[in-house]
Structure 1
Amino acid sequence: MAYTWDNRVAFVVRYLYDIDNNGFLDAHDFQCLALRSCVLEGKGDCSAERLQKYEHIMLSLWEEITRLADFDKVLDYDGTVSVEEFKTAVKNSCVGKKYSEFPQALKAFIESNFKMTDINNDGVMGIEEYRYDCVQRMVVEDIKVIDEAFNSLLNDDDRKKGGITMSRYQELFAQFLSDTSENCPAKYLFGPLEL
């Protein structure tokens, strides 16, 4: 059950976008995401130029999400997007599609997310970076569970490169959102998920 499409999309809302953990998305979450992304990519440094870049990326993503997901805005725009509205938007704009067909703002977010994960900036998310990314978001009792999840993502080419490149990450992220099967090849992209 942890790897159903519904749970994977709910995970994206809860652990990637809903920074203040109030159960819905709003502009505040994406403003905070911009700052967090700037600090993480800069490894503590937050230059005005990088912050401006991330503010543009995150606020564009927020605008795209509201355009695609806030269905009650027709009558009374409440400034928020619920988990269910987000799922419907992902279903309409991502399910069954390749990365190249995703909305531009989502692609920019995916690329920036990879850059934050690639701590040593070598263009490959290795096992140590994957572990670090996983434990930031969830409670895990045994490192073996994280390592098994990482290794299950890798194909032969990934193993030769020592991990997951940006293009492979884009492919996996697209599968994570677009493949509705519980056995989605990318189901471990963010580690061992919980219900």
Structure 2
Amino acid sequence: MAYSWDNRVAFIVRYLYDIDNNGYLDAHDFQCLALRTCILEGKGDCSAARLQKYEHVMLSLWEEITQLADFDKVPDYDGTISVEEFKQAVKNSCIGKKYEDFPQAMKAFIETNFRMLDINADGLLGVEEFRYDCVQRMVVDDIKVIDDAFHSLLNDDDRRKGGLALSRYQELFAQFLGDQSDNCQANLLFGPLEL
């Protein structure tokens, strides 16, 4: 059940987008996400130019999500996106699609997320970076669980490279959102999921 499509999409809302943890998405989440991304990618530095770039990316993503997901639009638009509305938008725009066919702002977010996770900026998401990302979101008492999750994502080419390149991360992210099966390879892209 933890790896059902519904739970995976709810995970995206809860841990990647709903920054203030109030149970729904709004513009404030994406403004905070821009600042968080700028600081994390800059390893504490937050230049005005980089912040402006991320504000553009994240607010474009918010606008795209509202176009795809706010099914209770004007005249009663409440400025929020519920988890159920987000799931329906993902279902409409991502199920069965490859990364290249995803909405543009979502692709920009995925690329930005990869850069943020690539702490050493070597173009690969390695096991140490994967660990760092996972422990920020979940309670883990055994590193082996995280390492096993990481290694389950790797194909032979990834192993040769020493981790996940951007193109592979994009492919796995697309599977995470676009494959409705409970056992797709990308289930562990964000580590072991909770219900």
Which TM bucket (shorter chain)?
A: over 0.9
Shift of 1:138: 1.1
**Aligned alpha-carbon RMSD (Å):** 0.5
CA distance in 1 between counterparts of 2:54 and 2:66 reads: 18
- Counterparts of 1:35-184 in structure 2, within 5 Å, are 35-184=35-184
Once the two structures are superposed, what CA deviation does each residue of 1:1-53 show, in whole Å capped at 9, x if it has no partner? 00000000000000000000000000000000000000000000000000000
Aligned structure 1 segments of 4 or more residues deviating by more than 2 angstroms: none
Residue identity in the other structure for 1:159: R
TM-score by length of 1: 0.99
Secondary structure of the corresponding residue to residue 90 of structure 2: helix
CA distance in 2 between counterparts of 1:132 and 1:9 reads: 21
TM-score by length of 2: 0.99
Percent pairwise identity: 82
CA distance in 2 between counterparts of 1:169 and 1:138 reads: 20
CA distance in 1 between counterparts of 2:24 and 2:120 reads: 33
Secondary structure of the corresponding residue to residue 87 of structure 2: helix
Cross-structure match for 1:8? 8
Give the length in aligned residue pairs: 195
Secondary structure of the corresponding residue to residue 71 of structure 1: coil
Shift of 1:75: 3.6
| Stretches of structure 1 lacking an aligned partner (at least 5 in a row) | none
| Stretches of structure 2 lacking an aligned partner (at least 5 in a row) | none
